[in-house]
Structure formats: structure tokens, C-alpha cells
């Protein structure tokens, strides 16, 4: 995990809060418009139906006319209400989508900055690790070369002393053999 500087973290939190508030404002505007539509619809229904509260007509043909007038107005009013409702909902949805897009673009910039910082920190850490590894390898190689050189020197000295000892032994043995060969010749 990487750690962000406090300034970047504060900027990120501020941007996130502003995005939240902006989206909430868009939703609340839509909710307020729907509330106003509902209040207006209720007021219209009340004002139009004040005439309905009058006593029902006594004549049967007047009752049929009265019912047909009420029933023909209901679908028209429901369709009008639905049109207004869906217009408000779609407008709010578009506003929220635009706001979300702009916030995403802004947020994406913040995220790019955060990722760039993280990559820079990771690069610095990997460079430090590479330098430390290289230094350790050089030290190990130097120590290994020195140990090998010391072992080779000691082996060469030991071999030289063994060769000198063998040479001396052969010389001494050869002199002794020569002396023993010469002694019998002198007796005769």
C-alpha cells in the first residue's frame, strides 16, 4: 500500500465531498420539481372539482352528461400529469448524468495524480532496492574474490613448499645413492 501526502488526501476528500453535494443538489432539484407538480395537480383538481360538489343533477340525461364530462377529463389529466412527471424525471436524470460525467472527469484527474505519485514512490523505492542489491552483490563478489585469491596463494605456497621438500628429498636421496654407488667402487 502506498501513502499519500496529506495535501493530496485532503484535495481528494474535498473533491469527493463536492461531487456528493453537487449530485445531491441535482436530485433535490428534481424532487422539488416533482413536489411542485404534485401540489399544482392537487390544487387544479380541487379547483375544478368545486363544481362537482354541487348537488348532482336531478335529470337522468344531465347525470350522464355530468359523468361523461368527468370521465373524459380523467385520462387527459392523467396523461398531462404523466408527461410532466416523466419530463421532470428525465431532465433530472440528464442533469445527474452530466454532473456525474464532469465529476468523473475531475475525479479521474485526481486519480491520475494519485497513481502518478504512487508510481513515483514505487520507482524511488525500487531504485533504492536495486542500489542496495548492487552494493551487496559487489561486497559479496569482492569478499568471494579475496577469499579465492587468498586460498589460491596459500595453495601455491603450500605446493611450492611441498615441491621444495620433495626436491630436497630427492636431492638428498640422490646424493646418498651416489655415495653408496661410489663407495663400493672405491673398495675394489
Q: pLDDT digit string (tens) for 134-155? A: 787 788 778 777 877 777 777 7
DSSP of 57-80:
PSSHHHHHHHHHHHHHHHHHHHHH
Task: Compute the distance between CA of residue 159 and CA of residue 165 in angstroms, rounded to an integer.
Answer: 10
Question: Would you say residue 78 lies in a domain?
Answer: yes
Question: Would you say residue 59 lies in a domain?
Answer: no
Task: Compute the distance between CA of residue 99 and CA of residue 104 in angstroms, rounded to an integer.
Answer: 8
Whether residue 75 is predicted with pLDDT greater than 70 in this model: the reply is yes
Whether residue 35 is predicted with pLDDT greater than 90 in this model: the reply is yes
Domain count, the chain: 1
**How long is the chain?**
188
The x, y and z cell numbers of residue 9, run together, are 488526501
Whether residue 36 is predicted with pLDDT greater than 90 in this model: the reply is yes
User: Per residue in 80-136, pLDDT tens?
Assistant: 888 888 888 888 888 888 887 887 777 666 666 766 776 777 777 777 777 777 787
- What residue numbers bound the domain in which 44 lies? 6-52+68-187
Angle at 86 between CA 46 and CA 17, to 5 degrees: 110
pLDDT for the residue 20: 84
Question: Would you say residue 1 lies in a domain?
Answer: no
Question: Would you say residue 115 lies in a domain?
Answer: yes
Q: Provide the 10 A C-beta neighbour count for residue 92.
A: 19
Closest to 5 (Cα-Cα) out of 109, 143, 120: 120
Does the pTM surpass 0.75? The reply is no
Whether residue 178 is predicted with pLDDT greater than 60 in this model: the reply is no
Question: Would you say residue 60 lies in a domain?
Answer: no
pLDDT band at 51 (very low <50, low <70, confident <90, very high): low
pLDDT for the residue 181: 57
pLDDT for the residue 79: 83
Question: Would you say residue 61 lies in a domain?
Answer: no
Mean per-residue pLDDT of the chain: 75
Question: Would you say residue 157 lies in a domain?
Answer: yes
Of all residues in the chain, what percent carry a pLDDT higher than 70?
Answer: 70
Question: Would you say residue 32 lies in a domain?
Answer: yes
Amino acid at each position: 500500500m502506498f501513502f499519500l501526502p496529506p495535501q493530496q488526501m485532503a484535495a481528494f476528500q474535498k473533491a469527493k465531498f463536492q461531487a456528493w453535494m453537487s449530485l445531491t443538489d441535482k436530485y433535490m432539484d428534481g424532487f422539488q420539481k416533482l413536489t411542485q407538480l404534485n401540489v399544482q395537480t392537487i390544487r387544479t383538481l380541487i379547483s375544478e372539482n368545486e363544481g362537482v360538489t354541487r348537488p348532482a343533477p336531478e335529470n337522468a340525461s344531465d347525470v350522464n352528461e355530468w359523468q361523461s364530462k368527468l370521465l373524459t377529463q380523467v385520462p387527459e389529466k392523467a396523461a398531462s400529469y404523466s408527461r410532466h412527471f416523466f419530463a421532470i424525471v428525465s431532465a433530472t436524470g440528464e442533469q445527474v448524468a452530466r454532473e456525474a460525467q464532469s465529476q468523473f472527469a475531475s475525479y479521474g484527474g485526481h486519480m491520475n495524480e494519485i497513481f502518478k505519485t504512487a508510481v513515483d514512490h514505487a520507482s524511488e523505492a525500487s531504485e533504492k532496492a536495486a542500489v542496495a542489491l548492487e552494493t551487496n552483490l559487489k561486497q559479496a563478489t569482492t569478499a568471494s574474490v579475496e577469499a579465492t585469491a587468498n586460498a589460491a596463494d596459500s595453495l601455491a605456497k603450500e605446493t611450492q613448499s611441498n615441491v621444495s621438500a620433495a626436491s630436497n628429498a630427492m636431492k638428498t636421496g640422490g646424493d646418498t645413492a651416489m655415495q653408496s654407488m661410489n663407495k663400493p667402487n672405491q673398495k675394489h
